[in-house]
Amino acid sequence: MAKVETFAIHGRKAVQEFIAFPYTLYRDDPYWVPPLWTAQQQLFETHQHPFCAHAEIQCFLARREQHTVGRIAAIIDRNFNQVHNEQAGFFGFFEAVNDPEVAGCLLDAAWDWLRERGAHFMRGPMNPSANYECGLLVEGFDSSPQILMCYNPRYYSALMEGAGFRGAKDLYSYYLSRDMLTLDRVERVARRALEASQIHIRPIRMQDFESEVERVWEVYNSAWSRNWGFVPMTREECFYLAHELKPLAEPDLVLLAEVSGRLVGFLLALPDINQALKHTRSRFLPLVVLTVLYHRRKIRSIRVVLLGVQEEFRTAGVAAALYTEIIRRGLRLGYQECEMSWILDDNLLMIRSVELLGGKRHKTYRLYERR
């Protein structure tokens, strides 16, 4: 068999090849959902994505006999290293054919590049950090990923372990349908929380979008600061993401919890636009838009993307109150299913809240590490 060639890419043509490779790899996979092409262009080609302001990214391709057989991105996140006082390196956007040699060459190329820049270990996949899509799917291959979640073939975990990587942290995804709901007990907890702490829950005010996002950004960085692997999201990243998601958002699914006007928690849920995107295998933007508009009306599922509660209110039932309210509102809007993801495997308080509602774990994502 011909030798695998791995090389760092530069220039628009090579970046286009990097972004396009999954379209070939997943051509016959009914569960794969194409990524948003323009978002990856801003990250890899034009570097207009605000993540690039505090990070270095180098992309690699693997070829065999002039055919592209894999890709990977090596990432140095200066904000992460400053916050954690570590010399960490990350890899992301990993895709490869089922061949240990291809995977090994890609991971080694990324590691060599990271090590030259002082990294002591490599962790991933991060696409490009924990504030975005991350993790390798290791359980739950029988359905498409929801919005902003990852998907990959079953053999990826074997490729990682064969290359000397070990699991560092698991991320859980919980599924809940209308028929599975057990709202009574949670509603009692939520009611007591609202009464005892005088918590008021309301939807986002879209007419004050900028100021609302500013307040959510502050709570997000505070609420998640003690989480494993957390890296603060910059203000620029937060507003970039908010404006990217704004066209998809329904105000009744973006909830803010306040005490005497102070924001103490929030919940962001989005309609699962992936149910429409999965029907688009074209890179021609007008065709993608038309396909999404046609299928969007059939969406019956939402994903709870983010839930953050200030530490002093975490045992006050705020999470239960937010979960209960989002389910009420989702049902009223006609949605029948909900995914709550992702949740760290050691976040027992959040896991308990979801299970009280009747949620069942249906997908597991794993972050790998090699030192």
One-letter amino acid of 248: L
Looking at residue 284, what is its pLDDT? 44
Question: 233, 49 in Cβ contact below 8 A?
Answer: no
pLDDT band at 184; cut points 50, 70, 90: confident
Structure tokens at 324: 């209960």
Residue found under tokens 């999965």: 278
pLDDT digits (tens, 9 = 90+) for 111-169: 999 999 999 999 999 999 999 999 999 999 999 999 999 999 999 999 999 999 999 99
Task: Give the pLDDT mean for 172-190.
Answer: 80
CA atoms of 311 and 308, how far apart (whole Å): 9
The domains of the chain, with CATH numbers, are 5-174 (3.40.630.30), 175-361 (3.40.630.30)
Give me the phi and psi of 217, to 5 degrees please. Answer: -60, -45
Tell me the HSE value of 34 on the side-chain side, using a 13 A CA sphere. 24
Burial of 294 (0-12, 13-18, 19+ CB in 10 A): exposed
Secondary structure (DSSP) of 100-138:
HHHHHHHHHHHHHHHHHTT-SEEEE-EESSTTSEE-EEE
Asked if pLDDT for residue 278 goes beyond 50, the answer is yes
pLDDT digits (tens, 9 = 90+) for 68-114: 999 999 999 999 999 999 999 999 999 999 999 999 999 999 999 99
Looking at residue 277, what is its pLDDT? 75
Label each residue of 213-244 as H, E or C: HHHHHHHHHHHCCCCCCCCCCCHHHHHHHHHH
Least confident of 27-41, 53-67, 238-252: 27-41
Query: Which candidate, 97, 107, 104, places its Cα nearest to that of 155?
Result: 97
Looking at residue 161, what is its pLDDT? 97
Question: 366, 170 in Cβ contact below 8 A?
Answer: yes
CA atoms of 347 and 40, how far apart (whole Å): 31
CA atoms of 221 and 94, how far apart (whole Å): 27
CA atoms of 165 and 90, how far apart (whole Å): 13
pLDDT digits (tens, 9 = 90+) for 279-325: 665 554 444 555 555 556 678 999 999 999 998 888 777 888 898 88
Structure tokens at 140: 């739950």
CA atoms of 232 and 247, how far apart (whole Å): 24
pLDDT band at 46; cut points 50, 70, 90: confident
User: Which long-range contacts (C-beta less than 8 Å, at least 24 apart) are formed by 229-234?
Assistant: 229/123, 229/130, 229/169, 229/367, 230/83, 230/130, 231/77, 231/79, 231/80, 231/83, 231/84, 231/129, 231/130, 231/131, 232/79, 232/83, 233/131, 234/50, 234/53, 234/54, 234/79
